[in-house]
Amino acid sequence: MKLVGIAGSVADKSYNRMLLKYIASHFGDEADIELLDINDVPLFNQSDDQTEGDAVQYLKRKIEHADGIIIATPEHNHTITASLKSVIEWLSFKIHPMAGKPVMIVGASYYDQGSSRAQLNLRQILESPGVDAVVMPGNEFLLGDVKTAFDDQQNLKDERTVSFLKTTLEKFLKFVTVINDMNKPEDPGWEAEDLESHGKVETTVEGVDMHAADWVEKAAEKTHAAEGDDYVKLDRGLLTVNQLNYFLNSMPMELTYADANNQFIYYNHFLEAKDMLAARTPAQAGNPMADCHPKPAIPHVKQVIHMLRTGKTDMFRLPVPGMGADKYVMHYYKAMHDADGDYKGINELVLDIMPMVNYYLEHTGQMLVKDPDAETDAVSGASSRSKAAEKPAKPEVDEVSGASADAEPTAEPEKPAKPDVDEVSGASSNS
Amino acid sequence: MHKFVAIVGTNSDKSTNRKLLQFMQKHFAKQAEIELVEIKDLPLFNKPADKQIPATAQAIADQIDQADGVIISTPEYDHSAPAVLMNALEWLSYYIHPFADKPVMIIGASYGALGTSRAQEHLRQILDSPELRARIMPSSEFLLGHSLQAFDDDGNMIDQTKLAKLAGLFRDFETFVDLTKQLNHANEANRQEIRDLDWANL
Ligand SMILES: Cc1cc2nc3c(=O)[nH]c(=O)nc-3n(C[C@H](O)[C@H](O)[C@H](O)COP(=O)(O)O)c2cc1C
Ligand SMILES: Cc1cc2nc3c(=O)[nH]c(=O)nc-3n(C[C@H](O)[C@H](O)[C@H](O)COP(=O)(O)O)c2cc1C
């Protein structure tokens, strides 16, 4: 779980900041808590809109990506500080990143009753319609007499305080789960996947026809793409574009990149289409995924993408028969994510695993034996399909084909052995 | 004639709260001298360890010291007083105490129907805290809702019922100021207590 912490002070020294730091380090095993700095946020002024400024945008981004917020508030004149109120005003003026976010309030004060009034006030402010946060009810963590509460290492001294804080935090973690579950947008369902790629993601190259055979060249020109001996900094290393190509083209498998907008933007091009396990041609790069699949396969392609996008599964496996009895071709669809966990598309890996199996058997002195209890007869399933493969018409492109058949993809003997319907095979078992 | 300081509780260039105070300044000119005070130039309060108060804050404190009372007109942001007003009150309670025993009248204007009722409640609570200890006029409230439509082109209040209420409250405030002058037996003790409040040495 990812939480952000905001201490309501811009003073050089703040016990509330110390308290949040303590919570973040002491309870690091229970939640990943990142402290957000509010020092650079200007005092709210409706006539001088700084919503687009770095300081406010930084808070917006961090809050949007967090599951919940912990606010530690000082108490000044029986209320919260102007510095904290100002932050909340920015986050309720033109943008509303706290809307629906679970919030836990804590507070430290010099007095024994400290921060109780500020906490009550803060609760009221956070629940006003422009802010619309969801504050955890009940629990109040008040750290009074704060000047004597920490030891030299900035740890809380009192065991009972620590254990109460732990209980409160654990409750909050449950609260966050419940609230976020409740707020989850209604899943539009797999039908909403747009294989025509009408949408756009931040990397989409606009103004270049996705269907064009020279999409790669045009899009490269438009983006001033690195090429040849240009260096590219990677996690973790530095390669030239040429080196990247050597590297990807020597992978013992066929790789395809489909982005989050369902646009097919790359494959490692080291074979002619006719020699590939899942045929692709150079002209196809850039196409919307709909172009790369026969119509009947579309629903199942959508189902797989949707499962990957929504995180129902991180990798979808699909054996695709039809390449001959000596081959066992696997298609792996792996979801890709950025550092924030946002979906970035699919890495499709296609390879024949039989060479590996054979190598293993040979080098360990073993052989394959049929399992008498097996329910699915994968081998015969494959060979019945191989008849289809002998026909000249090989499925055009079948990357995300036959989607939902993960469980028993080859166990649908009633399907006609016609190559372009082949994609659809075993599809519906998952839907 | 009473002399009042009127604090515009916002830094917004276009403010109906400022309009309200400007109207009062003009409308009650025969009764009292009202001086408008802006708070938009105060820096963000950061509890400086050296206890240095900005000159702009000190200037406002001096104006308040010399006034018979203070009128504060507050907008409502997120069901509470705006940060910029809270900020001014933080400076005006940090090792200076111009509000101690000072009569205060709270008013407010908002775009919506409710006319800052929640912000005024909040402000009352703040002014009542031990570091400020203002003498807020009790049991009175002037809420100007739909404030964008409340004034004509000359800045006059359109609604005569509202205006009658405001005039009544203003008279009451003048009476309250005079009464408060007699409630002076604990002034010295109050001031001493406030001076003894030293956050750094608690
Ligand atoms: C102007 C001012 C007003 C204060 N008012 C209060 C108050 O009303 N209640 C309180 O408990 N502490 C008050 N304090 C003291 C501390 O600032 C406060 O206890 C704070 O919560 C300490 O947290 P921090 O170290 O994170 O700033 C006030 C301090 C200042 C400078
Ligand atoms: C961040 C923000 C929050 C606001 N929240 C409220 C609110 O809670 N209630 C309300 O009546 N108006 C709210 N408003 C609208 C008006 O600013 C408000 O009515 C104000 O009192 C108008 O005063 P002014 O004309 O002096 O600026 C909000 C405006 C901003 C910019």
Report pLDDT for B199: 67
Summarised one tens digit per residue, pLDDT across range A72-83 is 999 999 999 999
Confidence band (pLDDT; 50, 70, 90) for A400? very low
Taking CA–CA distances from B11, the nearest residue in chain A reads A45
What is the number of domains present in chain B?
Answer: 1
Looking at the CA of residue B111, tell me the nearest atom of ligand 2.
19
Region A326-349: mean pLDDT is 94
What is the band of A378 on the pLDDT scale with cuts at 50, 70, 90?
Answer: low
Ligand 1 near A322 CB (within 6 A): no
Residue whose token pair is 């919030």? A103
The predicted pLDDT at position A379 comes to: 54
By most ligand atoms within 8 Å of CB, the mutation choice from B7, B76, B78, B107 for ligand 2 is: B76
DSSP A369-413: ---TT-SS-HHHHHHHHHHHHHSS---S--TTTTTTTTS-TT--T
State the pLDDT at residue A391.
Answer: 37
Instruction: Give me the residues paired with residue B109 across strands.
Output: B144
- Please confirm whether the linkage preceding B135 is cis (ω < 30° from 0): no
Which chain A positions have a beta carbon within 8 Å of B44's beta carbon? 10, 42-43, 82-83, 86
| CA angle A6–A11–A16, rounded 5-degree value | 40
Decide: B202 and A149 in contact? Cβ < 8 Å. no
pLDDT of residue A140: 80
Chain A residues with CB-CB distance to B46 below 8 A: 10-12, 83
B22 touches chain A (CB under 8 A): no
How far away is chain A from the Cα of B10, in angstroms, using its nearest Cα?
A: 8
Cβ distance of A46 and B10 shorter than 8 Å: yes
Structure token digits, residue A7: 């201490």
**Chain segment A57-108, per-residue pLDDT in tens:** 999 999 999 999 999 999 999 999 999 999 999 999 999 999 999 999 999 9
pLDDT given for residue A384 in this prediction: 40
Ligand 1 atom closest to Cα of A11?
27
Out of A43, A110, A130, closest to residue B83 by CB: A43
Distances (CA, A) of A307 to A270, A300, A428: 30, 11, 14
A421 pLDDT exceeds 60?
no
pLDDT of A158 over the 80 cut: yes
Probe target for ligand 1 pocket from A39, A70, A84, A109, with the most ligand atoms within 8 Å of CB: A109
Residue B121 and residue B123: Cα distance in Å, rounded? Answer: 5
pLDDT at B201: 66
- Paired strand residues for A1: none
**What average pLDDT score do residues A281-301 get?**
92
- Per-residue pLDDT of A112-124, as tens digits, reads 877 899 999 999 9
| B12:A82 CB<8 A | no
Distance CA(A252)–CA(B50), nearest Å, equals: 68
| Mean pLDDT, chain A, integer | 87
Can you give chain B as a three-state secondary structure string? CEEEEEEECCCCCCCHHHHHHHHHHHHCCCCEEEEEEECCCCCCCCCCCCCCCCHHHHHHHHHHHHCCEEEEEECCECCECCHHHHHHHHHCCCCCCCCCCCEEEEEEECCCCCCCHHHHHHHHHHHCCCCCCCEECCCCCEEECCHHHCECCCCCECCHHHHHHHHHHHHHHHHHHHHHHHCCCCHHHHHHHHHHCCHHHC
Out of A12, A45, A79, name the one closest to residue B12 (CB). A45
Token pair, residue A342, equals 């946002």
Output the pLDDT for position A406.
39
Summarised one tens digit per residue, pLDDT across range A164-203 is 999 999 999 999 999 998 888 778 889 999 999 999 999 9
DSSP-derived letter for residue A277 is S
DSSP SS3 for A120: helix
| Structure-token match 């406030």, residue found | B194
- Contact partners, residue B73, CB within 8 Å, separation at least 6: B6, B7, B8, B9, B17, B18, B20, B21, B107, B108, B109
**Nearest residue of A to residue B119, measured between CA atoms:** A125
Confidence at residue A412, expressed as pLDDT on a 0 to 100 scale: 35
Q: At what angle do helices B160-182 and B16-27 cross, to 10 degrees?
A: 70
3-class secondary structure, A157? coil
More confident residue, A294 or A256: A256
For position B49, which CATH number holds? 3.40.50.360
DSSP secondary structure code for residue A230 in this structure: -
- Residue among A47, A85, A117 whose CB faces B12 most closely: A47
Q: Looking at residue B23, what is its pLDDT?
A: 98
When scoring B13, B77, B121 by the number of chain A Cβ atoms within 10 A, the one with the most, hence best to mutate, is B77
What is the pLDDT at residue A178? 95
| Residues A34, A62: Cα–Cα separation, whole Å | 9
Please give the radius of gyration of chain B, using alpha carbons only, rounded to the nearest integer. Answer: 17
Q: Is B78 on the interface with A (CB under 8 A)?
A: yes
User: How buried is residue A264: exposed, middle or buried, by Cβ count under 10 Å (0-12/13-18/19+)?
Assistant: buried
Q: Determine the pLDDT at residue B43.
A: 98
Residues in chain B predicted with pLDDT less than 70, given as ranges, are 199-202
Task: Establish whether this prediction's ipTM goes over 0.90.
Answer: yes
pLDDT in tens, B69-106: 999 999 999 999 999 999 999 999 999 999 999 999 99
Residue ranges per structural domain of chain A: 2-183, 215-390
Query: How close does chain A come to B33, measured CA to CA in Å?
Result: 29
B78: nearest CB among A10, A92, A147: A92
H or E element: which one contains A108? strand A102-108
* Six-digit token string for A215: 């999409």
Mean predicted confidence (pLDDT) in A266-270: 97
Check residue A382 and give its pLDDT: 43
Task: Give the residue carrying structure tokens 């091009």.
Answer: A269
Give the separation between CA A106 and CA A86, rounded to whole angstroms. 18
Q: Residue A426's pLDDT is what?
A: 34
Nearest CA in chain A to B198: A110
Confidence of residue A398 (pLDDT cuts 50, 70, 90): very low
Q: Is A115 near ligand 1, meaning CB less than 6 Å away?
A: yes
* A108 pocket-lining for ligand 1 (C-beta < 6 Å): yes
B133 lines ligand 1 (CB under 6 A): no
* Amino acid in position B163: L
**What pLDDT score was predicted for residue A425?**
36
- Mean pLDDT in residue range A13-35: 96
Regarding the beta carbon of A89 and ligand 2, being less than 6 Å apart is answered yes
pLDDT given at position A410 = 37
Tell me the mean pLDDT in the region A207-235.
Answer: 96
CATH match for A2-183 among 2.40.50.140, 3.40.1010.20, 3.40.50.360, 3.30.420.40: 3.40.50.360
- Interval A148-167 mean pLDDT: 94
User: What burial class does residue B159 get, using C-beta atoms within 10 Å of its C-beta: 0-12 exposed, 13-18 middle, 19+ buried?
Assistant: middle
Average pLDDT of the residues in A153-169 = 94
Q: Print the domain residue range for B137.
A: 2-201
Cβ(B131) – ligand 1 distance below 6 Å: yes
Task: Name the H helices within A9-95.
Answer: 15-26, 54-65, 82-93
The larger pLDDT score, comparing residue A226 to residue A139, is at A226
Q: Is the pLDDT of residue A411 over 60?
A: no
Q: Is the CB of B76 under 6 A from ligand 2?
A: yes
Chain mean pLDDT for chain B: 95
pLDDT at A383: 41
The CATH classification number of A215-390 equals: 3.30.450.20
Q: Do B86 and A79 touch (CB under 8 A)?
A: yes
Instruction: Give B-chain residues touching A80 at CB under 8 angstroms.
Output: 86
**Which helix (H) or strand (E) element contains residue A7?**
strand A2-7
Mutate to test the pocket of ligand 2, among B77, B114, B122 (most ligand atoms within 8 A of CB): B77
Q: What is the DSSP letter of A418?
A: -
Q: How far is CA B130 from each of CA A14, A84, A238, B74, rounded to the nearest angstrom?
A: 21, 21, 63, 21
Q: How many CB atoms lie within 10 A of CB A365?
A: 6
3-state secondary structure of A243: helix
